[in-house]
Amino acid sequence: MRRLVVADRQELTRDTLRVLVESTDDLMVVGEAADGDACVDAVRRAAPDAAVVDARMRTATGQPVAVALADQAPRTRVVVLATFGDGDEVGVGDADVVLLRDAGPDGLLRALRSAAAPPAGLPRTAGT
Amino acid sequence: MVLSRTRRVLVVDGLLALLLLAAALVAGAVGEAGSTPVALPVLGTVLAAGACGATWGRRLEPVLAFGVVLALVAVSVLGGYPYLPVLLPLLVALAAVGLHAPLARSVVAAAAALVVTLTAFSVASLLQPEPDPRAGLLMAAWTGWVLAPWATGAALRLRGELARTQDVAAELQETATTATEAARRAEARQADDAARMRVARLVHDAVGDDLAAVAMRCAVALHVADHRPGDARLALRAVRDRSEASLRGMRQARPGLLDGGGAVPEQAPDGVWEELWRGAVRRATPDPEGRHRPTRSRQDRAAEALALLEGEDLELPASVHATSGVGGRR
C-alpha cells in the first residue's frame, strides 16, 4: 500500500483526491493539509511515499512547498498539482512530477502510482 | 517690434537731449553772468551742446554716449568754461551708464568720470593765475555729483535684476511644482495599474483553479459512479458550492479591477479567493504618504474586514485533518 499526503488550498480538490484514492486498493491518504506549513508538518510526521502538493502553495516564510519538502523530507516524492503547468506556478520547477489538474482520473492515478512507487520515473508533465 | 522700440527710444531721448541743451544754455548764461568772463564762450556753448547731444544715444549705447560726454566735459573744464552746462549731460550720461550698462563696466565708467574730471579741474586750477580758494570744496561737490547719479542708476538696475531673478525663481518653482505634481499623478496611475493588474492575475488564477477543481471533481465522480453511486450527489453539491463561491469571489474582485483603489468586499471569500480578498483589504488601508486615501467609511469597512478576517467567524482554510495511520478507505 502506497501512502500519500494531499495538500491543496481547496477543500474540493482534497476531497476529490481522497475519493479517487479511496477507490483504489493500492493507495491510501495518510494526511491532508490546506497550507504549506501544515503540509510540511504532515509529511514529516507521516513520511509518505509521495506528497501531492498545490503548485502555488508556499510555507509561511514564502518558500515553495516543493522546495521545503525536498529539504526536510527528501525521501518523499513531490507531485505538484498545477492548473496551468507553467513556471509562473511556484512549485512547478521543484517537483518530481508535475500533474495537471484536468489530467482525468486515470491520468491522475497513473501519475500517483508512478510517483509513489520507487524508483518512479515520469515525464515532468503528466496528463497532457 | 525691436525697430519700433528703438525709434521710440530715439525720439524720447532726442527730446530729452533738447531739453538738456536748453537747460545747459540757461545755466551757461546764468553761470557766465555770475562768473569771470570766458575767452571763448561760443566754444564752451558748442561743447555743452555736444555733450547734451551725446545723451541722445544714452540708452542704445550707454558707455559710448558716456565716453563722448566725458571727453567733452573734460575739454570744457580744461578750457575754463562754466561747468554747470556740461554737468547736466554728464549726470544724465552717468545715470544711464549705471542703469543700462553691466555693473562692472559702469563701475569703471564712474571711476573714469571721477579721475578724468578731477584731473581736469586740477589742471585747470593750476593754469589759473591765482588759485581758487573754493577748489577743494568744488572738487568734493563734483565727486558727489558724479557718484550720486551713477549710484542711483546702478541701484535701479540691481533692483530690476533682482526682480527679474525673483520672477525666474518663481517661474522655476512653479515649473518644479507642476513637474512634481505630474510625477505624483503618474506614480499614482502606475500604482493603480499595478494594483489592477495584480487583481486581474489573481482573478485569472483563482478562476482557473476553481474550474480545474470542478472539472476534476466531476471526472472523479463519473469514475467512481459504478462503485459509489452516492458520491454523485456529494459531487454535485460540492460543485455547486464551489461555483457559487467562485462567482462570489469574482463579484468581490470587480471593484478592484474597475477602479484599482479597490473596495473592500463585504464578505470574506473562501479558498483560493482569500488572497484576493486580503489584497483588497490592504488596498483600502491608507498608505503613509496619503495616496488614494480612502474615505472614512472605506477605512471603517477595511477595519471591519480585517477584524472579520482575524475573528472566529471566518472560515479560514483548515489545517491538517488526518494523521499518519489513517487509511485511504475512510
Q: Which residue of B has its CA nearest to A106?
A: B223
Higher pLDDT, residue B180 or B326: B180
**pLDDT value of position B166:** 94
Q: Kindly report, residue by residue over B90-114, the tens digit of the pLDDT.
A: 999 999 999 999 989 989 999 999 9
DSSP string, B171-189: HHHHHHHHHHHHHHHHHHH
pLDDT band at A18 (very low <50, low <70, confident <90, very high): very high
B98 burial via Cβ count (<10 Å: 0-12, 13-18, 19+): buried
**pLDDT value of position B175:** 94
CA distance to partner chain A, nearest, from residue B313 (Å): 18
A44 with A72: CB under 8 angstroms? yes
Q: Which of A60-64, A116-120, B24-28, B32-36 has the lowest mean pLDDT?
A: B32-36
Dihedral, CA of residue B151, residue B153, residue B155 and residue B160, to nearest 10: -170
**pLDDT value of position B196:** 79
A21 with A28: CB under 8 angstroms? yes
Cα angle A70-A74-A80, degrees, rounded to a multiple of 5: 50
Mean pLDDT for A112-126 is 65
Rounded to 5 degrees, φ, ψ at A5 are -115, 135
Instruction: Name chain B contacts of A113, Cβ cutoff 8 Å.
Output: none
pLDDT band at B297 (very low <50, low <70, confident <90, very high): very low
- What whole-number percentage of chain A has pLDDT above 70? 85
Q: What kind and span of H or E run contains A50?
A: strand A50-54
**pLDDT value of position A25:** 92
**pLDDT value of position A49:** 94
Instruction: For residue A99, give every residue at least 6 positions away whose Cβ sits within 8 Å of its Cβ, in sequence order, or none.
Output: A52, A79, A80, A81, A82, A107, A108, A111, A112, A125, A126, A127
Q: Which of B136-145, B165-174, B192-201, B236-245 has the lowest mean pLDDT?
A: B192-201
Mean pLDDT for B106-132 is 85
Higher pLDDT, residue B249 or B286: B249
DSSP code of residue A2: E
In angstroms, the CA B73 to CA A30 distance is: 117
Instruction: Name chain B contacts of A106, Cβ cutoff 8 Å.
Output: 223
**CB nearest to B322's CB, from A20, A27, A31:** A31
Instruction: Name chain A contacts of B323, Cβ cutoff 8 Å.
Output: 30-31, 42, 45-46
Residues of B with CB under 8 A from a CB of A: 205, 208-210, 212-217, 219-224, 227-228, 231, 238-239, 241-242, 271-272, 274, 317-330
Q: Can you tell me which residue has the cell 505624483? A: B184
Q: Quick check: A18 and B205 CB within 8 A?
A: no
For A103, B61, B67, B146, B156, the CA distances from B112, given in Å and listed in that order, are: 101, 17, 9, 10, 21
From B275, B281, B278, B242, select the one nearest B261 (Cα to Cα): B281
From A16, A18, A60, A61, select the one nearest A35 (Cα to Cα): A60
pLDDT band at B191 (very low <50, low <70, confident <90, very high): confident
Q: What kind and span of H or E run contains A100?
A: strand A97-100
Q: Which of A19-33, B3-17, B254-268, B314-328 has the lowest mean pLDDT?
A: B314-328
Q: Quick check: A29 and B205 CB within 8 A?
A: no
**pLDDT value of position B268:** 44
pLDDT band at A96 (very low <50, low <70, confident <90, very high): confident
In angstroms, the CA B204 to CA B257 distance is: 12
Residue A59's CB is within 10 A of a number of other CB atoms, namely 19
**pLDDT value of position B78:** 85
A35 with B317: CB under 8 angstroms? yes
Mean pLDDT for B72-101 is 87
Instruction: For residue B284, give every residue at least 6 positions away whose Cβ sits within 8 Å of its Cβ, in sequence order, or none.
Output: B261, B262, B263, B264, B294, B298, B299, B301, B302, B305
**pLDDT value of position B233:** 87
Residue B86 clears pLDDT 80, i.e. is over it: yes
Q: Kindly report, residue by residue over B217-257, the tens digit of the pLDDT.
A: 999 999 988 888 888 888 999 999 888 888 887 777 776 66
Q: Quick check: A12 and B271 CB within 8 A?
A: yes
Instruction: Name chain B contacts of A13, Cβ cutoff 8 Å.
Output: 213, 216-217
Q: What kind and span of H or E run contains A44?
A: helix A36-46
B204 with B253: CB under 8 angstroms? no
Q: Quick check: B320 and A21 CB within 8 A?
A: no
Interface mutation target, options A3, A4, A11, A100, chain B, most CBs of B under 10 Å: A11
Q: Which residue of B has its CA nearest to A7?
A: B320
Interface mutation target, options A4, A9, A41, chain B, most CBs of B under 10 Å: A9
Q: Kindly report, residue by residue over B262-284, the tens digit of the pLDDT.
A: 444 444 445 456 655 555 555 44
Mean pLDDT for B305-317 is 38
- ipTM entry: 0.84
A22 touches B: beta carbon within 8 Å: yes
Q: Which residue of B has its CA nearest to A48?
A: B324
Mean pLDDT of chain B: 76
Q: Quick check: A13 and B322 CB within 8 A?
A: no
pTM: 0.53
Beta pairing partners, A98: A80, A125
From B264, B269, B265, select the one nearest B294 (Cα to Cα): B264
Interface mutation target, options B218, B220, B231, B234, chain A, most CBs of A under 10 Å: B220
From A72, A77, A2, A66, select the one nearest A44 (Cα to Cα): A72
pLDDT band at A124 (very low <50, low <70, confident <90, very high): very low
Q: How many residues does chain B have?
A: 330
